[in-house]
Amino acid sequence: MHLDLDWGRPWHGEYGLLLSFYAPRTRTVYLTRFRKACQAIHPRLFGSILQRLDHVLMPYEPLFTAYDARMVREHLNFGEDWYGELADDYQEQTGQDPDELQEAELLAWAREHGRLTPDEVYEQLPQELYDGGMFTEYLLGQLMTPACDALPGIGTLRETLLVLSALPAEFHAEREWFHTHRHFGHVTVIAAEKPEGDGFDPTHEAWMEYDEIYEGVDFEQHPTEDLRSFWISSAQESESVLLYLDCLRLAQQAVRKLWAAIEDRALAAPA
């Protein structure tokens, strides 16, 4: 765990100590076999599980899912003026007025000329990888029933979800990197489309491209998103930090046990 300390005084506040916690390292977890097992039960089961884990782990051990990969692709490839620039290129190369085209026709022209389009990004990183949609609550309920008893690692998964669901809501915070452009910090990258060593997984590839732009996590050189920050100027605020540290320990222990039970290496067929 990386910890930053600062001393000062907030606006109209008392002098105190600012504690900012950061995840200790980045790792990639390959879940292609687990995803396949989930799909055999329901096509949205994997996304439902990742949606819940992503939400509850944000202040403790943040995930980089296919949703984040989508946001990275949009951030890196499609700026605010992308569509207008595409229309200008079309007019310059064809001599025709782009206003006479439907959006789908202009995007088809872009693909024909080897340009990446938002639709292609969504095809590479489908919603089923990170979101259960309208089925989420139903499928998470099914996890606790015999309908999912055959799912690999189901005992550990159930235990993990119970541990995480008991953590206090007061520490939850949404990730804000795509609003502030601060570096994610260290994350657990969820690769569920390509097994390790079998080409590039789109989510892992998006993370590598993003991280390379920032030249890695560097707390001194780049603003980095923290897991949680606390301003301490009283004994009561100190107690909140101690509670957070206890929750941090429980969450990290639970989810690392889960990865060990469901990652591809754990589910590999015996020789």
Sequence spans of domains, the chain: 27-65+130-225+244-267, 72-126
Query: Residue 210: how many CB atoms within 10 A of its CB?
Result: 20
pLDDT digits (tens, 9 = 90+) for 102-134: 777 777 887 787 777 888 888 889 999 999 999
Q: 83 pLDDT exceeds 80?
A: no
- Are the C-beta atoms of residues 44 and 142 closer than 8 Å to each other? no
Interhelix angle 235-262/45-57, rounded to 10 degrees, is: 150
At 219, give phi and psi (nearest 5°).
Answer: -65, -25
- Least confident among 86-90, 169-173, 184-188, 263-267: 86-90
Q: 11 pLDDT exceeds 70?
A: no
Query: Residue 160: how many CB atoms within 10 A of its CB?
Result: 25
Nearest to 136 by CA among 42, 48, 53: 48
Distance CA 262, CA 14 (A): 47
Q: Which two tokens stand for residue 159?
A: 């235990």
Q: What mean pLDDT, rounded, does the chain reach?
A: 85
Report the DSSP beta bridge partners of residue 2: 22
What pTM value is reported for the model?
Answer: 0.84
